[in-house]
């Protein structure tokens, strides 16, 4: 970048005529009262306030896509969460009971309606996290079923 900039500056009561003749690649040529100095500098990087959009690479064919496989996991069970905020009206099963997919484990009242909370898988009721008349919020864990 070649550009000439002239400044009149005062330092400790002394006047100086400063001319920046050449700036480029971290070095500037500066003339101070007739004496030329080569000055090294580091430019500050401006941080953008606009977030940068990062996208995953697009693949034109399935062969280009990296192959990944999921690690096998141990059957640790299934956690059942409350679909809505409400009150537990009744609990039909106890810890240790065998349940089949679709069995009603408890009844919950939400928005003035009774909702059956059923087992999503076959297994054993490992733990009940709520009791009758408990208030629950959406996403609260109701019970856990082991495989």
Q: Which two tokens stand for residue 142?
A: 């109701």
C-alpha dihedral, 110 to 131 to 77 to 92, nearest 10° = -80
Terminal C-alpha separation, the chain:
70
Distance CA 131, CA 135 (A): 9
pLDDT of residue 135 exceeding 70: yes
**Range 31-42 average pLDDT:** 84
**Range 48-60 average pLDDT:** 75
Q: Is CATH 2.40.50.100 correct for 78-146? A: yes
Q: What is the pLDDT of residue 72?
A: 56
How does residue 62 score in pLDDT terms, banded at 50, 70 and 90?
confident
Pairing of strands 86-91, 135-136: antiparallel
Pairing of strands 104-110, 86-91: antiparallel
Q: What is the DSSP string of 51-95?
A: PPP--PPP-SSTTTSPP--PPP-----EEEE-SSSEEEEEE---T
Question: With pLDDT > 70 as the criterion, what percentage of the chain qualifies?
Answer: 91
> Which of these, 83, 80, 78, 79, lies nearest to 138 by C-alpha position?
83
- State the residue for tokens 């009561």: 13
Question: With pLDDT > 90 as the criterion, what percentage of the chain qualifies?
Answer: 37
Distance CA 112, CA 114 (A): 7
Q: What is the pLDDT of residue 46?
A: 75
Domain with CATH 2.40.50.100 in the chain: 78-146
How does residue 74 score in pLDDT terms, banded at 50, 70 and 90?
low
How does residue 106 score in pLDDT terms, banded at 50, 70 and 90?
very high
**Range 13-41 average pLDDT:** 84
Lateral strand order in the sheet of 35-40: 2-11, 14-24, 27-32, 35-40
pLDDT of residue 89 exceeding 70: yes
Does residue 99 or residue 50 have the better pLDDT?
Answer: 99
């Amino acid at each position: 970048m070649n550009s000439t900039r002239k400044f009149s500056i005062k330092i400790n009561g002394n006047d100086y005529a400063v001319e920046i003749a050449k700036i480029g690649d971290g070095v500037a040529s500066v003339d101070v009262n007739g004496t030329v100095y080569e000055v090294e500098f580091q430019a500050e990087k401006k941080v953008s306030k606009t977030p940068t959009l990062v996208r995953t690479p697009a693949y034109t064919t399935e062969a280009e896509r990296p192959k990944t496989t999921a690690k096998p996991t141990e059957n640790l069970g299934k956690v059942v969460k409350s679909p809505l905020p409400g009150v537990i009206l009744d609990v039909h099963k106890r810890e240790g009971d065998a349940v089949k997919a679709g069995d009603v484990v408890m009844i919950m009242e939400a928005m003035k309606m009774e909702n059956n909370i059923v087992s999503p898988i076959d297994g054993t009721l490992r733990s009940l996290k709520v009791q009758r008349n408990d208030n629950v919020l959406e996403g609260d864990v109701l019970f856990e079923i082991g495989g």
